[in-house]
Structure 1
């Protein structure tokens, strides 16, 4: 969810960076991932694409970074000194957080960071990479935590072909794996169960499915989407991910 700007100081406490974050439109995030939007593309063309997606013209011109994971950094400052020569250092902190988010140090997706204000030290020696990088990183991490971030997990689509009298067994297996049945079709004597299941729940799916259907089920899975992990599981999952 969108946040108010938060302030982070550099290690020497002579520089201040203000940052806020809000969700990035899914279609824009997907363009970043496919390369249709990118830092190496023509800036005017990138601005045109954003304008076609109802972005304000001034905001579209001020994108500092198109991250290939599906995130964007925007320069929302006005009348700030030294912003151009400091942008690379500030973006280094942003890049670090996109690689390793605050919850489980996993990659981040679909975030729009707005760099709202910058209070730099006048001396170049006091606002180098070693100072602005950590400040930017803290600002990105802090604003993300205030936005109530979620951990996403891959969801697999699944199609199971099984005799009609075993359809209930298949539905039971899927529900026991945090999955659900979306549709059922009949082709002759074979029933087709169409559903979805979290990828993390499929490691022993083959064994359980064979046991519940006496080996009479045939199925295939495919990547379908990303979905937030249920809140009841997040508390135990984060420490497990951090152990890796």
Structure 2
């Protein structure tokens, strides 16, 4: 699957976005636009077999919290909810975000822990399992 392709280096964050989008569309049926421009990062350690995607439409202030969301994703994928071990083969899609209009409430101190809890809660609702090393 995709996790194996990421581990083998067939899909990396350093790939040309258009080539990556074409590959993901052909092999996994992804929308070319999502594979090309909407992958925020891989994790853990920016090269792991998990991805976070931005599938939102017209969310205000989203670029202001992107770095905080990426940090939360890295933290969550490094210390998963079941055994505080790395997650593997997880794809998270950000579908909608509602942010406070006051910038003071959009800082990393508010966004990182909240985003991490949302990611872990989303994973727990998706029937996670422990994998043998």
Shorter-chain TM-score tier: 0.7 to 0.9
Residue 43 of structure 2 corresponds to residue 64 of structure 1: no
1:91–1:136 Cα contact (<8 Å) kept: no
Query: Residues 96-118 of structure 1, C-alpha deviation per residue, up to 9 Å, x if partnerless?
Result: 11101001000000111111111
Q: How many residues align?
A: 128
Matches within 5 A, 1:113-128: 113-128=92-107
1:69–1:107 Cα contact (<8 Å) kept: no
Query: Residues 4-40 of structure 1, C-alpha deviation per residue, up to 9 Å, x if partnerless?
Result: xxxxxxxxxxxxxxxxxxxxxx2x2112223332223
Give TM-score, length-normalised by structure 2. Answer: 0.87
Query: Residues 89-136 of structure 1, C-alpha deviation per residue, up to 9 Å, x if partnerless?
Result: 111111111101001000000111111111111222210111111111
Q: Partner residue of 1:144?
A: 123
Greater Cα radius of gyration, structure 1 or 2: 1
Gaps of 5+ in 2: none
Query: Residues 51-97 of structure 1, C-alpha deviation per residue, up to 9 Å, x if partnerless?
Result: 22221223323111123331111111111011122111111111111
Matches within 5 A, 1:1-244: 26=1, 28-53=2-27, 54-61=29-36, 62-67=38-43, 68-154=47-133
- Name the structure with the higher strand share: 1
Deviation, 1:41, is 2.6
Gaps of 5+ in 1: 1-25, 155-244
State the alpha-carbon separation in 2 of the partners of residues 58 and 42 from structure 1: 13
- Structure 1 runs of 4+ with >3 Å offset: none
RMSD: 1.4
